Amino acid sequence: MIESFNYARNPKIIFGAGKFGEIASIIQGFGKTVLIVTGGRSFQSSNDWDSFMNSLDAASVKHFHIAVEREPSPELVDHAVAEFRGKGVEVVVACGGGSVVDAGKAISAMLPTGESVLDYLEGVGTGASHDGSKAPFIAVPTTAGTGSEATKNAVLSRVGSDGFKKSLRHDNFVPDVALLDPSLTLSCPPHVTAACGLDAFTQLLESYVSNKASPMTDALARSGLEFVGRCLIPACTDGATDVNARAGMAYAALMSGITLANAGLGVVHGLASPIGGRFDIPHGVACGTLIGAATRLTIKKLMGEHGVEHPALRKYANIGFLLHGTQGRDVAEGCEMLIEKVDEWIETLSVPRLSAYDIQEEDLDDIISETGNKNNPAPLDKDEISTVLRMRF
């Protein structure tokens, strides 16, 4: 019997190599004045940027630009809103990685009000409720990782001892259009491709085994995981210039955004939030370095409490068989194959350990105290979470 579930709306999705060439006409469907949000330098130095500017000029579209150098902070969003709110911006376009997309999403949400975004952040703001009004928003990811092009939340952060990573969230904040052109990711360097790819994998796996998963999210997550299995290592190594490998990872990241928005995530993302708030560590690295240990501990706890009868164990096993390109019925064998494959990826991709980002032994207790299990199929206690951290310290 299929249990009841809810499913959030998706953006209009435009997917395919070369589709970025349509961006000017897509923008014109929303207005004639656009604010473009990008990362620090790389996109602006590319031929794609030059073509973009030329197409806007040819279409008589007025354009403003803001660069996001690091993960977006509330202060960056407030500054952008103050600078551009009076300039008649009719549509916001974010071209960049997950941080850029999150920044663009938050700016589009705050332009109509002009208020501080901090008031609306979950857990740290004043508790104000956003009414969902926004400037139309187009997301153009240039990395394959966060899936933010398909979600309703924008993650903002402040790094330090009192830091945080918190979401601005509303159903209306789902991008109006998600334009995914895998050719835009071809210049993404291997270490960034790896971190982003492991973030997408973590989101797919955690949503697949989530306590809130449904047959619909299962189907999407499994399809994304299949492409990760085929494309992650090639996209980071000898297939980095292969647009087909890049397309596979772009699709996987998109699916991860859709499934996390509907099924939720697990303990790895419960850990990534306090770690990312306190330390300057890329989100994808935090997820990638922890997913193997967290999966091992979760499987161990489920087997200790349920034998091999828990439905999540069958799911873990199915992905183990999928990633190895084989079939099997033995749940324990499939689970071990999954763990072996993830450990192999972490080793092959040289994913840094937590200590590489100035995280000290004495910091672990504070991280653990702020960690939640989210929708992990087995809730890990503080000692088990400590074990996960120490396995990758």
Average pLDDT score over residue span 1-29: 96
Residues 6+ apart with CB under 8 A from 370: 273, 274
Q: What is the pLDDT of residues 169-202, one digit of tens each?
A: 999 999 999 999 999 999 999 999 999 999 999 9
User: Is the model's pLDDT at 50 over the cut of 90?
Assistant: yes
How high is the pLDDT of residue 70?
A: 85
pTM of the model: 0.97
Residues 6+ apart with CB under 8 A from 50: none
Q: What is the pLDDT of residues 278-317, one digit of tens each?
A: 999 999 999 999 999 999 999 999 999 999 999 999 999 9
How high is the pLDDT of residue 69?
A: 87
Q: Which domains does the chain have, with CATH numbers?
A: 12-185 (3.40.50.1970), 190-391 (1.20.1090.10)
- Measured distance CA(128)–CA(241) in Å, rounded: 46
- Measured distance CA(107)–CA(191) in Å, rounded: 28
How high is the pLDDT of residue 320?
A: 98
Which value, in Å, is the radius of gyration of the alpha carbons in the chain? 20
Q: Considering the chain, what is the average pLDDT of its residues? A: 96
Helix (H) or strand (E) holding 168: strand 164-169
How high is the pLDDT of residue 125?
A: 81
Average pLDDT score over residue span 333-351: 98
> What share of the chain has pLDDT > 70, as a percent?
100
Phi, psi values for residue 380, rounded to 5°: -90, 135
Q: What is the pLDDT of residues 354-383, one digit of tens each?
A: 999 999 999 999 999 999 999 999 999 999
Q: What is the pLDDT of residues 130-167, one digit of tens each?
A: 999 999 999 999 999 999 999 999 999 998 888 899 99
Query: Angle at Cα 217 formed by Cα 214 and Cα 222, nearest 5°?
Result: 120
Average pLDDT score over residue span 219-245: 98
Contact assessment for residue 36 and residue 63, using Cβ atoms and an 8 Å cutoff: yes
How high is the pLDDT of residue 92?
A: 98
The partner residues of 12 in beta bridges, in order of sequence, read 177
Q: What is the pLDDT of residues 247-267, one digit of tens each?
A: 999 999 999 999 999 999 999
User: Is the model's pLDDT at 65 over the cut of 90?
Assistant: yes
Contact assessment for residue 213 and residue 3, using Cβ atoms and an 8 Å cutoff: no
How high is the pLDDT of residue 159?
A: 87
Average pLDDT score over residue span 96-103: 97
- Measured distance CA(19)–CA(10) in Å, rounded: 19
321 C-beta neighbours (distance < 10 Å), count: 18
Helix (H) or strand (E) holding 177: strand 177-180
